[in-house]
Amino acid sequence: MSDPTVDRAQEWLREHEGELLADLRQVLKFPSLEEPALPNAPFGKANRDALDFMLSLSASAGMRTKDVEGYCGFAEFGQGDKMVMTLGHLDVVPVGPGWKHEPFGAEIDGDYLYSRGAVDDKGPTIAAFYAARAVKEVWPDVPARIRSVFGCNEESGFKCVERYMQTEEAPTFGVAPDSGWPLYHAEKGIANLFVVAPRPGGEFALLEVCGGQRPNIVIESCEADVRVSASVRGEVEARIADAWDRNLTVTWQGDVMHVAARGKAAHGSTPYKGDSAAIRVLRFLWEVSPLATQEQYETLLNVPMTQGEGVGIEGADEVSGALSCNLGVISSDEGGVRFLLNVRYPVTWKGGDMRTRCEAKLASLGEGFRLEQFDDSPSLYFPLDHPLVKTICDVYEAETGERKTPGVMGGGTYARAIPNTVSIGTGWSGDGGAHENDERVKVEHLYKMSRIYAHILVRLANIAGGRA
């Protein structure tokens, strides 16, 4: 049996699809990468501009707004002690080379809208905002407050929601539109491991290696310089002839061999979906290294193994499966080779136990290997019978006719930082992957997800307000 409030909200959304698309295209044009802080703009001007746009849009829709010192902002309507929240983010990851469409052009090509942030997360954020706006327009006596939060630092630290929780209230129920359908009831723990390894020397001495922009992106390009002694030059050149890689080039400047590789970016939670240029470089250096230094390069190659074996943290649990490990940034200096490993670990694990295992493994590798820093974001887990989980599953089935089991993700969303919150779906087959080149979303999918979000908000508001 349909709910008249849901029907009215969805009809309002159908009547305002053009407006939704126009507002999304506008916010996509802000190149909201993290930049140096400015007054009241802790993540830079573009993020501030995007936040101002959303707050202005909200005020124009008759919502109460608050700017949380530029870290984030929110719009709200309704009355009462209970509150249902949506949390989206306006910041995006770096673009990188290889785009066919203008990364911040918000171009429509065929059925799709192309832009960094189209999927992650400006598209879903606007869809959720419009869902809230629709509820406001058709349900004047909504029994709970509905709040739309716009964050500006999800991709590189969660400082926005950390600041939010210092001064603002947690929701009765919260949804973060930033994952898969119907929702993800478990998010793996996320840890950044800053591992230092000794830099190989001798006749095949590593001078420099660099690649990567963020821990949560598979490295797309990487370069290295190696000084090759005359005594092993012939051996190295012979090995190069047998170590061909179509995505890697070698050039010489005197006795220095320069290696450059191209790969494919992907989200750090799924390193197997990408092609790490850094691992290509490390593998090549191991292959062409003379026997005297080959073991040193093999050890470097092993450090970023994608299931964590290289640093002793591999494993799995029944709820969330195996650990994954992404090499997000590699660099070198006088202190050694530095690996920034972005790890997604099983939901039943404790980060401290994993750290202990890593330190023990590095100690066993010999002098110069160490864990320089360990940052941990613990896992999130809601049982399948939790009211929030069950309600969202019921709504998705009512809207699509499909009963889907909630998922488990390696990615991290705002849900892990805000109590009583889960992440929900953002698209369907054909939409582009987060953090990939030519990120895209099907326009019709934007409209469809906004209608589902509206249904979710109505159901949760009724439950929160005691009308369920």
Q: Assign residue 261 the CATH number of its domain.
A: 3.30.70.360
The arithmetic mean of pLDDT across residues 295-301, rounded, is: 97
Whether 426 has a pLDDT exceeding 80, the answer reads yes
Instruction: Say whether pLDDT at 411 is over 80.
Output: no
Contact 441, 431 (CB under 8 A): yes
452 is in which domain, residue-wise? 4-188+380-464
Domain total in the chain: 2
Whether residues 181 and 194 share a domain: the answer is no
Same domain for 149 and 205: no
Task: Kindly state whether residues 75 and 212 are assigned to the same domain.
Answer: no
The Cα 356–Cα 367 span in angstroms is 17
Statement to judge: residues 253 and 296 lie in one domain: yes
143: pLDDT strictly greater than 90: yes
Same domain? For 9 and 136 the reply is: yes
Q: Are residues 331 and 427 in the same domain?
A: no
Please check whether residues 169 and 194 belong to one and the same domain.
Answer: no
Please report the pLDDT score of residue 151 as a whole number: 98
pLDDT tens-digit series, residues 243-283: 888 999 999 999 999 999 999 999 899 999 999 999 999 99
Last residue of a domain, one of 354, 377, 400: 377
At residue 434, the pLDDT reads 86
Q: Is the same domain home to 358 and 443?
A: no
Q: Is the pLDDT of residue 1 over 80?
A: no
CATH number for the domain harbouring residue 401 = 3.40.630.10
The pLDDT, as a whole number, for residue 410 is: 82
Q: What are the tokens at 382?
A: 């809601």
Average pLDDT on 104-128 reads 98
* 40 and 90 fall within a common domain: yes
What is the strand order of the sheet 324-333 is part of?
Answer: 248-253, 256-262, 221-228, 204-211, 324-333, 336-345, 189-197, 370-377
Please name the residue that has the structure tokens 């936040």.
51
Residue 143 in contact with residue 464, Cβ under 8 Å? Answer: yes
User: pLDDT confidence of 33, banded at 50, 70, 90?
Assistant: very high
Q: Which of 379, 376, 375 has its CA nearest to residue 349?
A: 379
- Token digits of residue 344: 């997604």
Whether residues 175 and 126 share a domain: the answer is yes
Please say which residue of 361, 377, 393 terminates a domain: 377
Residue 222 shares a structural domain with residue 348: yes
Question: What is the average per-residue pLDDT within 127-135?
Answer: 98
Q: Are residues 146 and 292 in the same domain?
A: no
- Final residue of a structural domain among 359, 377, 395: 377
Sign of CA dihedral 42, 43, 47, 49: positive
